[in-house]
Structure 1
Amino acid sequence: MAYDKFLNRLKDRYAAVTDGVFAIAMTILVLEIAVPTAADISSGVALNEYFISYLVPSILIYFISFYLVYNFWENTAILFNIKKITYPILTLNMITMAAVCLIPFATGFLFKFYNYTIVNILFSLLILVISLLYILIFILLIRHNFKDYYDKRDEIKTAVHESYEDGIELPNLKLYLKGVTLTLFYLLLAPLISSLISLVFAFISPIASILSFLLTLILVFFIRMKRFGKESSGDLNDDEKEFLADIQESIYGNEQ
């Protein structure tokens, strides 16, 4: 029990450091866009060339990178909302943060050399590695948190049978849990799918590699917005909310 309290306090410190990493990474992204000097721009033609060949692609790449970093931060926010966490998971999270810190560098590299295949491959591989690390973290979290559920499933079934012996049905609860699960699925797989598609297109066309990120992320954005609208626990009736609370208490125990 003392070790669990220590981990909870440690988790808070890890969460603070993690938020700081993401805040700095998001800020550095825009600083990677180079502003030309007066010596670099000597005419209107040169300024137009700067806008067309550098600034417009850079701003597009910046928004793609920012959205990816935001998506990773959202995954981490979910991670630190889960009560039961282990030290190896916290350590793996810090390894993931080390990879996240490379995103501004890879983005700055992409700003200058977006039309080169190897640079697009580097960026896509980095996003792929971070996505796989997050999937590994969530797999470990599920195994750790639901171990207690499987150990106590007979006790939970008995408690549910005694509390709800009138045979009530919980259709809204099923839809709610399904919606939450699917949204988590999208959150985890969105950058993974984007990076794989971009990696394939990098060998065909560097521009197509970048645009594939954009199109995929736009599609996932609308899917997620639609799903979030269907997952409010406010749609649950009192019996369903009580049932959900009983499940959470059986798995996690009373929060001190």
Structure 2
Amino acid sequence: MANNKFLNNSNDRHAAVTDGVFAIAMTILVLEFAVPTINDISSGVALNQYFINYLAPSILIYFVSFYIVYNFWENTVILFNFNKISYGILTLNMVTMASVCLIPFGTGFLFKFYHYTNANIFFSLLILIISLLYILLFFLLVKSNFEDYFKNKDLIKTAVQDSYDDGIELTNLKIYMRGVTLTLFYLLLAPVISSLLSLLFAFVSPIASILSFLLTLIMVFIIRTRRFANDKLVELDLTDDEKEFLENIRRSIYGE
């Protein structure tokens, strides 16, 4: 009992640190803007050039980066709804947070060098690595929380093939295959796809590479809209603990 209480307290502290990291990262993004001095801008023509060549692209990059960080924070909130979170997963989360802290630097790097291919490649790779870390966190959490399914995977497959004969419990399989955890996986996959596209577009067009991350916003909206009805899980035979667990994740995804 004492160990569980200590672990829960540790999870709460990690969640608090994680929120703090995101709050600071989102605030630092705006500090990357460099305000020109009067010596740099000495005429209306120079001001127009500054706006076109630096300020306008920087504002676009800022909003894209802000949404990316917000999206990662939102996914982290959902992941912390899993019941079993081991020390290994918490450690991996801290590695992920260390990577998130690099986003303001990557954003500032883009502010100055967005028209260079290497700058866009660096930013895209950074977001891709963080996105893959979230995917890894997801699979570790699913494996930990659905341990019964993985231990009896072969028996469950046999039961499915035999039209659910022999009375083998299938609730964990149903949750894994049809529950809101599948929606969460799709949400985590969205920035992976966006960063891969951004990486490809970096060799073609810097602006297209940056705008590719807006695909995450579109994909998240479509995923939540299309899967909303499926995630009600009214047809599944679940235990009270499983229902509570899934409802917590559902509320985190849909804000209910």
TM-score in terms of structure 2 length: 0.78
Q: Tell me how far 1:190 sits from its aligned partner.
A: 1.1
Change (3 A) 1:4 1:37: same
Q: Which residue of 1 aligns with 2:221?
A: 222
**For each residue in 1:61-94, what CA deviation from the matched residue of structure 2 results, as whole angstroms up to 9, or x when unmatched?**
1111111111111111012111211000000000
**Residues 61-70 or 97-106, more deviating:** 61-70
**For each residue in 1:101-136, what CA deviation from the matched residue of structure 2 results, as whole angstroms up to 9, or x when unmatched?**
000000000011100000001001100110111111
Distance 1:90 1:140 in 2: 11
Matches for 1:78-227 after TM superposition, within 5 Å: 78-148=78-148, 178=178, 180-214=180-214, 216-227=215-226
8 Å contact kept, 1:29–1:66? yes
Unaligned stretches of 5+ residues in structure 2: 154-173, 247-256
| Secondary structure class of the residue paired with 1:204 | coil
Q: Which residue of 1 aligns with 2:250?
A: none
8 Å contact kept, 1:148–1:251? no
Letter in 2 for 1:220: M
Distance 2:76 2:54 in 1: 32
Distance 2:6 2:65 in 1: 35
Q: Which residue of 1 aligns with 2:27?
A: 27
Letter in 2 for 1:248: E
**For each residue in 1:153-178, what CA deviation from the matched residue of structure 2 results, as whole angstroms up to 9, or x when unmatched?**
9xxxxxxxxxxxxxxxxxxxx89x84
Change (3 A) 1:244 1:179: closer
8 Å contact kept, 1:149–1:250? no
**For each residue in 1:195-228, what CA deviation from the matched residue of structure 2 results, as whole angstroms up to 9, or x when unmatched?**
11111111222222112223x1342143145247
Letter in 2 for 1:246: D
Query: What is the aligned-residue RMSD (CA, Å)?
Result: 2.8
Kindly indicate whether residue 42 of structure 2 is the aligned counterpart of residue 49 of structure 1.
no
8 Å contact kept, 1:99–1:130? yes
Q: Tell me how far 1:56 sits from its aligned partner.
A: 1.0
Letter in 2 for 1:105: F
Q: Which residue of 1 aligns with 2:240?
A: 246
Distance 1:111 1:52 in 2: 12
Change (3 A) 1:111 1:228: farther
Percent of pairs with identical residues:
69
Q: Which residue of 1 aligns with 2:252?
A: none
Q: Tell me how far 1:248 sits from its aligned partner.
A: 1.3
Q: Which residue of 1 aligns with 2:251?
A: none
| Secondary structure class of the residue paired with 2:210 | helix
Distance 1:150 1:202 in 2: 40
Number of equivalenced pairs = 225
TM-score in terms of structure 1 length: 0.78
